[in-house]
């Protein structure tokens, strides 16, 4: 916060210095999700309709946020996050970009459904050039439920977005007193309030405690920029989930139509992103046709090691390193907005090393 020293002159002639705090300006961009949901009764913590409550009601339910910052709200969307397509994703990024470009805005909070929250947060970290704090927040219980987690999550998200300490550190996810980095966070539990996990930082009683930095490129250091992306769609990338007894048909179905088909496939492989031997010929053929094959893993921890169990150099495949399949999908789509030659697996791999 901006500290300004002022002085009070009392009638006795004494001058008493004291500090006042000019509050930062934070805009809350509401997009829907459970944090704006409504259930039939207060005991419905998991049965409810997402995306019902308007942004003004969300803000009015937590009047304490006005002590942290001057908070205003914008209703960008009102959707459950599993229904977010490129159109909504790009609209959120454009809205956030427009806000952070305003000198009077110091931070932005996005209220969002938790299902694809990590994807939007990562996309914002790749495409919005700013050092202002951007915080994506959700909740696991709707506002109508007993012990709803949304109000405190929103309070903490505003505290983080208003904190000067949070500047230049990228896009955050705030849930359940935890501060997460957009690139690293993933939803690991789909029913409890501690749905996301990592040890990146904590937000306690309105104060952020940050313990980590992001090692990869983000925000101002990103080569992608929402301002250079035109239209309502990104190049099509799809995910195929690996398991035993796989058929190659999903890969060919996604890529079947030369123009409309997927330009890259994220193979969410078993173990180290492994590819079953009966699938290899299909992937090799698709790669030759210019479809990027990117090996990720269905295993939540660890990372896919290039040329370890699979000869990536021989087949011209790309590895997603530690990005989960859904984040790899977004990075591949952005990469395809730039790489002129979709067949250039080396350039795609460079991007996967750097982000």
How far is 217 from 87, CA to CA, in rounded Å? 24
- Nearest approach in angstroms of CB 344 to ligand ASP is 35
Q: Could you tell me how many residues make up the chain?
A: 355
Q: Closest CB to ligand ASP among 80 and 157?
A: 80
Least Cβ distance, residue 37 to ligand ASP (angstroms): 7
| Vertex 116: Cα angle to 112 and 120 (nearest 5) | 70
DSSP tag of 327:
H
Closest contact distance (angstroms) between CB of 193 and ligand ASP is 10
Tokens at residue 80, please? 């459950």
Q: Which is nearer to ligand ASP, 50 or 124 (CB)?
A: 50
Q: Residue 34 catalytic?
A: yes
The minimum distance between CB 277 and ligand ASP, in angstroms, equals 37
342 contacts: CB under 8 Å, gap ≥ 6: 263, 264, 290, 291, 292, 336
Question: Which residues contact ligand ASP by CB under 6 A?
Answer: 33-34, 50, 80-82, 113-115, 138, 140
Minimum CB separation of residue 139 from ligand ASP in Å reads 7
The residue to which tokens 């370890």 are assigned = 308
Q: 115 or 178: whose CB is closer to ligand ASP?
A: 115
Would you say 88 or 115 has its CB closer to ligand ASP?
115
Which two three-digit tokens encode residue 192? 């409890």
Output 46 or 308, the one with its CB closest to ligand ASP: 46
Look up residue 303 and give its DSSP letter.
-
Name which of 139 and 296 has its Cβ closer to ligand ASP. 139
Would you say 33 or 170 has its CB closer to ligand ASP? Answer: 33
Rounded Cα–Cα distance for residues 171 and 182 (Å): 6
Buried-exposed string 249-279: b where 16+ CB fall within 10 A, e elsewhere: ebbeebbeeeeebbbbbbbbbbebbbbeeeb
Q: Which stretch of DSSP H or E encloses residue 160?
A: helix 150-161
Residue 170 Ramachandran class (φ > 0 left, ψ -120 to 50 alpha, else beta): left
Tell the smallest beta-carbon distance from residue 238 to ligand ASP (Å).
20
Buried b (16+ CB within 10 A) or exposed e, 104-128: ebbbbbbbbbbbbbbbbbbbbbbbb
Residue nearest to ligand ASP (CB): 113
Contact status, residue 347 vs residue 316, Cβ threshold 8 Å: no
Catalytic residue among 31, 34, 130, 193: 34
Determine which helix (DSSP H) or strand (DSSP E) holds 297, and give its type and residue range: strand 292-297
Least Å distance, CB 28 to ligand ASP, is 16
Helix (H) or strand (E) holding 267: strand 264-269
- Please state the φ and ψ torsions of residue 10, each to the nearest 5 degrees: -90, 160
Active site residues: 34
């Amino acid at each position: 916060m901006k500290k300004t020293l002022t002085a009070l002159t009392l009638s006795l002639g004494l001058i008493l210095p004291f500090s006042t705090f000019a509050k930062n300006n934070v805009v809350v961009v509401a997009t829907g999700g459970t944090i704006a949901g409504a259930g039939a009764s207060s005991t419905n913590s998991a049965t409810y309709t997402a995306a019902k409550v308007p942004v003004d009601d969300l803000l009015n339910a937590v009047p304490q946020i006005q002590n942290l910052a001057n908070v205003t709200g914008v209703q960008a969307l009102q959707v459950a996050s599993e229904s977010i397509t490129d159109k909504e994703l790009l609209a959120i990024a454009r809205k956030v970009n427009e806000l952070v470009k305003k000198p009077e805005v110091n931070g932005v909070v996005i209220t969002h459904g938790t299902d694809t929250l990590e994807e939007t947060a990562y996309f914002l970290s790749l495409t919005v050039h700013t050092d202002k704090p951007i915080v994506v927040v959700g909740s696991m219980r709707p506002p109508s439920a007993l012990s709803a987690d949304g109000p405190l999550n929103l309070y903490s998200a505003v505290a983080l977005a208003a904190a000067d300490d949070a500047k230049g550190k990228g896009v955050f996810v705030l849930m359940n007193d935890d501060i997460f980095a957009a690139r690293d966070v993933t939803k690991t539990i789909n029913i409890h309030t501690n749905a996301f996990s990592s040890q990146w930082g904590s937000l306690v009683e309105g104060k952020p405690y940050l313990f980590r930095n992001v090692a990869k490129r983000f925000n101002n250091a990103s080569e992608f920029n929402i301002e250079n992306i035109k239209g309502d769609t990104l190049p099509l990338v799809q995910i195929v989930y690996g398991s035993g007894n796989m058929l190659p048909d999903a890969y060919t179905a996604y890529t079947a139509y030369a123009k409309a088909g997927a330009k890259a496939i994220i193979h969410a492989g078993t173990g180290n992103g492994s590819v079953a031997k009966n699938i290899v010929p299909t992937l090799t053929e698709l790669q030759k046709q210019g479809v990027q094959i990117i090996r990720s893993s269905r295993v939540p921890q660890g990372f896919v090691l290039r040329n370890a169990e699979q000869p990536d150099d021989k087949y011209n495949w790309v590895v997603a390193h530690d990005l989960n399949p859904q984040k790899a999908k977004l990075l591949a789509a952005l990469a395809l907005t730039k790489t002129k030659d979709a067949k250039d697996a080396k350039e795609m791999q460079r991007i996967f090393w750097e982000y």
